[in-house]
């Protein structure tokens, strides 16, 4: 493998661990826990893994001999920077317990367990991947582990390899499934432990005990680097409005964090749009007003951040999409028989008045996408909608109308960007390198202590790594019951942006200034070797949330 | 101005200078020079600035008192990382000559000179911008300085401010115009010197005496960072083909350099496409074959780099566009009267057979763009064509045909990216920070020595900065005569990718391996504080070109 100079230099980095994990570890158990809601229902579903205490690891344990153990590891779902460090932390942890311990990696996600597709992760392999981005050491996948047949099929290979514990690195759904698996193996007395690790760049897997999911730090810093570069270009050329869509469908944490880092003229936060019941036209009007105000001050340029999931948070758009899905499910044949350039009119004539008006207001390309490009189940493919272009087109239309009314004088030339794949596999920042390594190492200590149904937890993460607090959180503690595909299911509560939380409040207090003034901040590329304030600062979101 | 931690830390960086410039400078003059071609014509057009000698600055000059001088500076054309360092090097240089020297910046490009729009760049302003990206210190613009009225209008403010010399920081066209201006002022005996500086991320302003244009290093490294991240994602998810278009319309240096840095599966080089007279179908077939070969090996993923200017290098596409422009110029009214969904057929029926066949093969969106979305002069707007989507759509069509013939088994899911604005205003790498500062400083020494019509030149740039060779190159030396808008004009010869040059040969020797194997390299973000091999390496292009 040809390596870049940075890859080679970075391979030598030794990630930092919480002080408590450096020597023999003492286990401190808290009180029994409860789920965040629906306690009775969750308790019934998880009789063996419900109510377990919080675990905290402290210094001063007694060193004991530990038998060699075999552990399996799975990467689940979308890539996030630092996954390789979780694995190397886990590897170093079980090797420290006993040098004959073995780590097996299941290939291409949970499917690897079911299909018995694995490799042994030996030290020469691990060393190739320390402090690198990506999930390519064993690959990832989106197979959901939720069926008994899968659990039993997985058990075959677990038995064959003598695996004592499985570590599942994933987002909220994967960790929910990890807990279902833990419960199943516990109920069956199979003697197989299951430990989860909180991964997702989206930042929506967090709560009182999990301060942040790994990868969020690096991904946001990478996006902020390029956003800052675009802002600087914007402020140099002074002639474009840049509409930048950012990955993250289920929550706006990434957009909000990038806004706090780069101070753009506009950032839309989906959760606010939903809470205020804003229409698409409300969002467009808000942006157009900022453009018009800046134009009045002679500034025909600016930067707008848009969260990928926006459309699905606009209540009126959700209603339109629901009616469209329903209508086309029943009238698909008739619709398809209509001449292409009359389809739009046909739909407008058949929708309810409110939805017809919204549909009619959409640019042609998006309207077509909503009615034509449907997934195999006949549903609108919201993820394919280029929200950044949709918004800029509608803003342009609105500005043209205002120009006629004399309410706007200026030029509006948009540019479009979408950042997602640029950050999911970036090499981890120092924060993520340390945090991930600590999460993996903590998982090994949870395993050594016989725990199952726990998520690896590292807290106090705004302090230096030595002071971080490592332990375990019962996954059931984070669960509530939610309707999924028409059925009530136990799931880990998703953390949306809180409108009364410190990060949003900081943004809200400043956005008017940022809209008017050109207050861009240019974070620049992630640094690994410089002064600590440049290399080691966690995200603004984490700092604001953890500030006392 | 709120600054990021990196901005603050980086402000303290002291750019390196060639050893010869540290003390008093001795001027070494070479033999008289000639233009690269059309010597007689160029000589006639530039009687006062033709044939001047090459200048080299050496150590060991005698320190002399120098009167205070006023200098004007202009940023011309697209942004490039390091522009602010050219200005700070120039500032420090003239201040070292005499602490009462003054620097005036003309606002928003050459237009600022004509419109008398300027600011004095004092040390507090300069200090805010050291080692930063962007051109926002005074802004840039695309006004072309080519008319006598502009020269005379500029002279008014030059006289008013007591300016002795003008430094124009720009690409090939701006430097050509700088030389025309130098010649004009020299012919008129106005006593105003004009010095150029070689700027452009595109890398197409280089020759024997100008090893590289500034900004190319940083821009390519920034693009390579995100390309590498995408490649790592690509190799982790193993399900997408990423089509990445890279800025640079007139040459493929950026795409080639990024390919050398990241080793993608495919990189198209426009100059090769033109030299081999490849058709669009040839390019599509080449990519599709790589996709099919990888699919046969079980790899339904990959990365393709595409230079922005590709379409304009495909001879058959050029002929199609020329015929379309001509045809629609004469039949525009009739065409516009035709029903929208019959326009395509109408065009196919009226073009020559060869062009009709190509037009018919294009995806609907692009075909529409070629016939409908025309600029105010009625011409096709080639720059608006999303080449990355055009190619991936045509590759998909070809693969579908091969699938029917049983020649291809696999899945093809493309993703699209365009990188340009992400890199033009990145903070300069150490190389660009040093190189730009040295170029600006060298300009001050050329001014001190009474030179005009010279371009600031810093060579031996693959050695440590102390060993760099600073001097001046007569701009006329780089010129030849070319047809522009129907007239023969003296212009600086554009440096296209040489197919017999070391960078292309290195790429060509490896591309088959890179296509088949997944040999991605992940350069990671630009580093400022780490080991020298991580922070200070110049581009692969420069290293290969300068290797003996």
CB spacing of A140 vs B237 below 8 angstroms:
yes
Chain B residue numbers touching A132 (CB-CB < 8 A): 232, 522
Alpha carbons B361 and A70: distance in angstroms, whole number: 57
Segment B307-327 mean pLDDT: 91
What's the pLDDT score for residue A373? 66
* Whether the Cβ atoms of residue A447 and residue A73 lie closer than 8 Å to each other: no
- Percent of residues, chain B, with pLDDT higher than 90: 87
Read off φ and ψ for residue B415, nearest 5 degrees.
-125, 150
CB spacing of A526 vs B529 below 8 angstroms:
no
A164 pLDDT more than 70: yes
* Whether the Cβ atoms of residue A428 and residue A512 lie closer than 8 Å to each other: no
* Whether the Cβ atoms of residue A490 and residue A258 lie closer than 8 Å to each other: no
What's the pLDDT score for residue B157? 98
- Percent of residues, chain A, with pLDDT higher than 90: 87
A246 vs chain B: nearest CA distance in angstroms? 13
Long-range contacts of B351-359 (CB under 8 A, 24+ apart): B351/B320, B351/B323, B351/B324, B351/B327, B352/B323, B354/B316, B354/B319, B355/B319, B355/B320, B355/B323, B355/B324, B358/B279, B358/B280, B358/B316, B358/B317, B358/B320, B359/B320, B359/B324
A143 vs chain B: nearest CA distance in angstroms? 13
Segment B78-89 mean pLDDT: 98
Three state DSSP letters for B244-264:
EEECCCCCCHHHHHHHHHHCC
Which residue bears the tokens 């800029």?
A: A392
CB spacing of A527 vs B527 below 8 angstroms:
yes
Alpha carbons B91 and B498: distance in angstroms, whole number: 36
What's the pLDDT score for residue B370? 81
What's the pLDDT score for residue A376? 66
Alpha carbons A244 and A262: distance in angstroms, whole number: 12
A548 pLDDT more than 80: no
Q: Which of B78, B263, B533 sits opposite A2 (nearest CB)?
A: B263
Probe site for chain A from B232, B417, B513 (most A CB atoms < 10 A): B232
CB spacing of B527 vs A524 below 8 angstroms:
no
DSSP label of A21: G
Chain A residue numbers touching B237 (CB-CB < 8 A): 79, 135, 140
Selection from B91, B132, B226 nearest residue A235 by Cα: B132
B411 vs chain A: nearest CA distance in angstroms? 16
Chain B residue numbers touching A108 (CB-CB < 8 A): 238
Question: What tens digit of pLDDT does each residue of B381-411 get?
Answer: 777 889 999 999 999 999 999 999 999 999 9
Give the helix, strand, coil percentages of chain B, each rounded to 5: 45, 15, 35
Segment B224-243 mean pLDDT: 97
B64 pLDDT more than 90: no
CA angle B335, B338, B339 (to 5 degrees): 140
CB spacing of A425 vs B233 below 8 angstroms:
yes
CB spacing of B7 vs A526 below 8 angstroms:
no
Question: What tens digit of pLDDT does each residue of A343-382 get?
Answer: 888 999 999 999 999 999 998 888 888 876 676 666 777 7
Q: Which of B225, B424, B427 sits opposite A233 (nearest CB)?
A: B424
* Whether the Cβ atoms of residue A211 and residue A418 lie closer than 8 Å to each other: no
B377 pLDDT more than 70: no
Packed helices A502-516 and A253-262: angle between N→C axes, nearest 10 degrees: 50
Selection from B239, B286, B235 nearest residue B263 by Cα: B235
Strands (E) located in A40-141: 53-59, 70-75, 102-106, 118-120
Question: What tens digit of pLDDT does each residue of A221-243 get?
Answer: 999 999 999 999 999 999 999 99
The token pair that represents A14 in the structure block: 């030794």
CB spacing of B5 vs A533 below 8 angstroms:
yes
For residue A136, give the chain B residue with the closest CA: B236
With H, G, I as helix, E, B as strand and everything else as coil, classify residue A474. strand
* Whether the Cβ atoms of residue A306 and residue A387 lie closer than 8 Å to each other: yes
Distance in angstroms between the alpha carbons of the first and the last residue of chain A: 47
**Counting beta carbons within 10 angstroms of the beta carbon of residue A543, is it exposed (0 to 12), middle (13 to 18) or buried (19 or more)?**
middle
Selection from A383, A395, A243 nearest residue A308 by Cα: A383
With H, G, I as helix, E, B as strand and everything else as coil, classify residue B378. coil
B233 pLDDT more than 80: yes
Report CA torsion sign: A288, A289, A290, A296.
positive
Segment A481-496 mean pLDDT: 91
In this structure, what is the dihedral angle of CA atoms B289, B290, B291, B293, given to the nearest 10 degrees? 80
What's the pLDDT score for residue A377? 67
Question: What tens digit of pLDDT does each residue of A181-227 get?
Answer: 999 999 999 999 999 999 999 999 999 899 999 999 999 999 999 99
What's the pLDDT score for residue B531? 96
Distance of alpha carbon B35 from the chain centroid: 22
What's the pLDDT score for residue B38? 96
Give the active site residues of A: 202
* Whether the Cβ atoms of residue B260 and residue B298 lie closer than 8 Å to each other: no
Chain A residue numbers touching B425 (CB-CB < 8 A): 229-230, 232-233, 236
Helix (H) or strand (E) holding B471: strand B469-474
Question: What tens digit of pLDDT does each residue of B273-300 get?
Answer: 999 999 999 999 999 999 999 999 999 9
Alpha carbons A233 and A242: distance in angstroms, whole number: 10
What's the pLDDT score for residue A196? 98
Alpha carbons B504 and B493: distance in angstroms, whole number: 20
Probe site for chain B from A1, A2, A3, A6 (most B CB atoms < 10 A): A6
Alpha carbons A437 and A18: distance in angstroms, whole number: 10
DSSP label of B297: T
Alpha carbons B448 and B167: distance in angstroms, whole number: 13
Question: What tens digit of pLDDT does each residue of A296-345 get?
Answer: 999 999 999 999 999 999 999 999 988 988 888 888 888 888 887 788 88
Q: Which of B133, B235, B527 sits opposite A6 (nearest CB)?
A: B527
Q: Going by C-beta distance under 8 Å and a sequence separation of 6 or more, which residues neighbour residue A333?
A: none
> How many other β-carbons are positioned within 10 Å of the β-carbon of residue B345?
11
Distances (CA, A) of B456 to B211, B430, B504: 12, 19, 27
Alpha carbons B109 and B169: distance in angstroms, whole number: 9
Chain A residue numbers touching B134 (CB-CB < 8 A): 232-233, 235-236, 522
What's the pLDDT score for residue B341? 78
CB spacing of A421 vs B242 below 8 angstroms:
yes
Alpha carbons A356 and A349: distance in angstroms, whole number: 7
Segment A120-135 mean pLDDT: 98
Mean of all residue pLDDT scores within chain B: 95
* Whether the Cβ atoms of residue A281 and residue A288 lie closer than 8 Å to each other: no
Probe site for chain A from B83, B143, B221, B229 (most A CB atoms < 10 A): B229
Segment A46-60 mean pLDDT: 97
Selection from A412, A413, A364, A352 nearest residue A390 by Cα: A364
Selection from B62, B21, B53, B47 nearest residue B34 by Cα: B53
B373 pLDDT more than 70: no
Chain B residue numbers touching A422 (CB-CB < 8 A): 226, 229-230, 417
What's the pLDDT score for residue B11? 95
Chain B residue numbers touching A261 (CB-CB < 8 A): 4
Alpha carbons B408 and B397: distance in angstroms, whole number: 12
What is the Cα gyration radius of chain B? 25
With H, G, I as helix, E, B as strand and everything else as coil, classify residue B459. strand
Alpha carbons B215 and B213: distance in angstroms, whole number: 7
Distances (CA, A) of B496 to A291, B249, B253, B266, B437: 40, 11, 7, 20, 26
What's the pLDDT score for residue B249? 84
Provide the H-helix boundaries in B12-50: 39-45
Q: Which of B1, B421, B533 sits opposite A230 (nearest CB)?
A: B421
Check: complex ipTM more than 0.85: yes
Q: Which of B226, B519, B530 sits opposite A2 (nearest CB)?
A: B519
Segment A94-99 mean pLDDT: 97
Question: What tens digit of pLDDT does each residue of B452-504 get?
Answer: 999 999 999 999 999 999 999 999 999 999 988 788 999 999 999 999 999 99
The token pair that represents A361 in the structure block: 């207001």
For residue B141, give the chain A residue with the closest CA: A237
CB spacing of A427 vs B524 below 8 angstroms:
yes
Selection from A206, A177, A118, A74 nearest residue A496 by Cα: A206
With H, G, I as helix, E, B as strand and everything else as coil, classify residue B31. strand
CB spacing of A521 vs B4 below 8 angstroms:
yes
Distances (CA, A) of A134 to A423, A424, A425, B393: 10, 7, 4, 28
CB pairs under 8 A between A and B: 191
A5 vs chain B: nearest CA distance in angstroms? 5
Provide the H-helix boundaries in B302-363: 310-313, 315-337, 343-350, 353-361
Question: What tens digit of pLDDT does each residue of B188-197 get?
Answer: 999 999 999 9
Probe site for chain A from B236, B424, B429 (most A CB atoms < 10 A): B236
A470 vs chain B: nearest CA distance in angstroms? 29
> How many other β-carbons are positioned within 10 Å of the β-carbon of residue A194?
29
Question: What tens digit of pLDDT does each residue of B103-131 get?
Answer: 999 999 999 999 999 999 999 999 999 99
DSSP label of A469: E
CB spacing of A233 vs B527 below 8 angstroms:
no
* Whether the Cβ atoms of residue A443 and residue A466 lie closer than 8 Å to each other: no
What's the pLDDT score for residue A383? 74
pLDDT bracket for residue B376 (50, 70, 90): low
Distance of alpha carbon B333 from the chain centroid: 39
Segment A35-45 mean pLDDT: 96
Distance of alpha carbon A114 from the chain centroid: 25
């Amino acid at each position: 493998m040809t390596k870049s100079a940075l890859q080679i230099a970075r391979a030598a980095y030794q990630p930092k661990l919480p002080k408590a994990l450096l020597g023999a570890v003492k286990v401190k158990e808290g009180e029994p826990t409860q789920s965040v809601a629906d306690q009775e229902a969750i308790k019934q579903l998880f009789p063996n893994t419900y109510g377990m205490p919080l675990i905290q690891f402290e210094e001063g344990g007694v060193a004991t001999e530990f038998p060699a153990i075999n552990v399996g590891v799975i990467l689940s779902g979308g890539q996030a920077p630092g996954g390789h460090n979780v694995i190397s932390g886990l590897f170093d942890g079980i090797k420290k317990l006993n040098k004959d311990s073995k780590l097996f990696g299941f290939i291409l996600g949970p499917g690897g367990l079911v299909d018995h597709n694995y490799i042994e992760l030996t030290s020469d392999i691990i060393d190739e991947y320390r402090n690198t981005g990506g999930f390519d050491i064993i690959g990832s996948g989106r197979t959901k582990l939720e069926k008994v047949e899968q659990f039993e099929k997985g058990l075959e290979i677990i038995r064959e390899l003598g695996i004592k514990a499985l570590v599942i690195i994933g987002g909220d759904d994967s960790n929910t499934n990890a807990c279902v698996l833990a419960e199943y193996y516990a109920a069956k007395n199979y003697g197989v432990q299951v430990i989860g690790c909180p991964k997702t760049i989206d930042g929506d897997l967090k709560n009182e005990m999990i301060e942040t999911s790994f990868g969020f730090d690096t991904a946001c810093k990478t996006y902020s680097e390029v956003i800052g570069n675009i802002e600087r270009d914007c402020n140099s050329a002074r002639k474009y409005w840049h509409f930048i869509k950012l990955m993250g469908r289920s929550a706006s944490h990434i957009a909000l964090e990038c806004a706090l880092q780069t101070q753009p003229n506009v950032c839309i936060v989906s959760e606010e749009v939903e809470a205020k019941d804003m229409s698409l036209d409300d969002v467009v009007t808000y942006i157009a007003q900022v453009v018009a105000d800046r134009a009045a001050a002679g500034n025909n340029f600016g930067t707008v951040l848009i969260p990928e999931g926006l459309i699905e948070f606009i209540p009126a758009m959700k209603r339109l999409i629901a009616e469209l899905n329903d209508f086309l499910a029943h009238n698909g044949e008739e619709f398809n028989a209509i001449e292409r350039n009359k389809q739009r009119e046909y739909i407008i004539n058949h929708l309810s008045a409110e939805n017809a008006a919204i549909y009619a207001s959409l640019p042609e390309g998006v309207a077509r996408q909503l009615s034509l490009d449907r997934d195999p189940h006949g549903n609108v493919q919201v993820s394919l909608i280029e929200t950044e272009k949709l918004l800029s087109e509608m803003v342009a239309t609105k500005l043209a109308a205002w120009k006629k009314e004399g309410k706007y004088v200026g030029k509006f030339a948009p540019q479009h960007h979408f950042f997602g794949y640029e950050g999911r596999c970036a090499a981890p920042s120092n924060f993520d390198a340390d945090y991930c390594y600590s999460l993996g190492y903590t998982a090994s200590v949870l395993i050594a202590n016989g725990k199952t149904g726990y998520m690896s937890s590292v807290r106090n993460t705004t302090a230096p790594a030595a002071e971080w607090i490592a332990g375990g959180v019962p996954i059931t503690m984070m669960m509530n019951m939610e309707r999924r595909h028409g059925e009530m299911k136990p799931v880990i509560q998703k953390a949306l942006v809180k409108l009364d939380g410190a990060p949003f409040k900081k943004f809200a207090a400043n956005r008017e200034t940022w809209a008017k003034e050109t207050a861009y901040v240019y974070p620049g590329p992630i640094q690994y070797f410089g002064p600590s304030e440049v290399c080691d600062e966690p995200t603004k979101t984490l700092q604001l949330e953890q500030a006392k």
